[in-house]
Amino acid sequence: MLKNVLLVGLGGFLGSTCRYLTYYLIDRKIESLYPWSTFTVNIVGSLILGLLLGFIAKANLANDHLRLIFAVGFCGSFTTFSSFMYENLYLFQQKAYSTSILYLIGSIILGFIAVFAGQAVGKSMI
């Protein structure tokens, strides 16, 4: 158990560091209202997670350490959007179309409402 926690922590350290560097590099070069840095980590993280899980499946690697370091740790700290997208892809591939659509729309709408409400409550606490 401790080994798994350390593997996830190592991947998380690398992922969060890469996320910061991505934000730093993009925000220095592009001045825009559009959140290019967040957009970039979400799309790149989704691509990395897809590539990684596809490689693990194709190579028939039963080694859970790769998944823990890179999928859970790295991609999980680089972006949670990648996990969200992969879960939707899985539901879609299982032909659970209505569940996938509900998860997509529900997560986006309720996530927006939650951050809006959380900000309002947070501001009222000060």
Q: According to the model, what pLDDT value does residue 124 have?
A: 85
In a domain, 122, yes or no: no
Q: Give a yes or no: residue 6 inside a domain.
A: yes
Q: Does residue 105 lie in a domain region?
A: no
Residue 26 lies in a domain: yes
| 51 found inside a domain | yes
Is the pLDDT at 26 greater than 70? The verdict is yes
Q: For the residues 39-52, what does the mean pLDDT come to?
A: 89
Q: Give pTM, 2 decimals.
A: 0.74
Provide the pLDDT for residue 57.
78
Could you tell me which residues are annotated as the binding site? 76, 79
Give how many domains the chain has, as a whole number. 1
Mean pLDDT score, 117-126: 84
Annotated binding residues for Na(+), as ranges? 76, 79
Residue 21 counted as domain residue? yes
> Read out DSSP for 5-70?
HHHHHHHHHHHHHHHHHHHHHHHHH---SS-HHHHHHHHHHHHHHHHHHHHHHHTT---HHHIIII
User: How many Å is the Cα radius of gyration of the chain?
Assistant: 17
Parent domain of 39: 2-79
Question: CA 14 to CA 85: how far, in whole Å?
Answer: 21
Residue 97 included in any domain? no
